[in-house]
Amino acid sequence: MEYSEKVMEHFANPHNVGVIEDANGVGEIGNAKCGDIMKMYLKIENDIIVDVKFKTYGCASAIATSSIATDLIKGQPISEALKLTNKAVVEALDGLPAVKIHCSVLAEQAIKAAIADYYTRQGLDPELYVGKLDDCCDLHDHH
């Protein structure tokens, strides 16, 4: 199995790892395929994701995808973060081995879960913004 240099880089030195104590959106997602878990913390101000951190009990691919996915959404409006697909994340990493694509879904789903939690805390129905969250990984391509 071959990992791209970018994957190796982000695995060896992942960005945005940790916990945000005063996060106002927290999402936790389990990967039904392998049992790995990802927790995502968001700090949102005026619809902008001003800070994001993650923790994962996951494989190298899960760590690398979360690292780059959190880079991509940091400083972005919620609407942009919701458009982030695992496909875009995989492309940003110069690809992942096919058997590892399910790992990249974890980051996308954890971000959506954290945004849903943010809306719930605002007293809003998260489904209106985020849509229904899959309980499991969606292994289909998003084209």
Residues of this chain that bind ligand FES (CB under 6 A):
31, 34, 36, 58-59, 61-62, 103, 106
Q: Which is nearer to ligand FES, 49 or 106 (by Cβ)?
A: 106
Q: Which is nearer to ligand FES, 125 or 138 (by Cβ)?
A: 138
103 is catalytic: yes
Inter-residue contact 20 to 53 (CB < 8 Å): yes
Alpha-carbon distance values, 59 to 50, 90, 94, 107 (Å): 27, 15, 18, 12
Q: Which is nearer to ligand FES, 19 or 57 (by Cβ)?
A: 57
Smallest distance from ligand FES to CB 9, Å: 17
Of 59, 103, 136, 137, which one is the catalytic site residue? Answer: 103
59 is catalytic: no
Dihedral, 139, 117, 50, 74 alpha carbons, nearest 10: 0
C-alpha 81/C-alpha 85 separation (Å) is 9
Smallest distance from ligand FES to CB 7, Å: 12
Smallest distance from ligand FES to CB 51, Å: 24
Q: Which is nearer to ligand FES, 89 or 106 (by Cβ)?
A: 106
Of 34, 59, 136, 137, which one is the catalytic site residue? Answer: 34
> Identity (one letter) of the amino acid at 91?
E
Half-sphere exposure (CA, 13 Å, Cβ side) for 88?
14
Smallest distance from ligand FES to CB 71, Å: 18
- Planar angle of CA 52, 56, 60, nearest 5 degrees: 110
**Would you name the residues annotated as active-site residues?**
34, 103
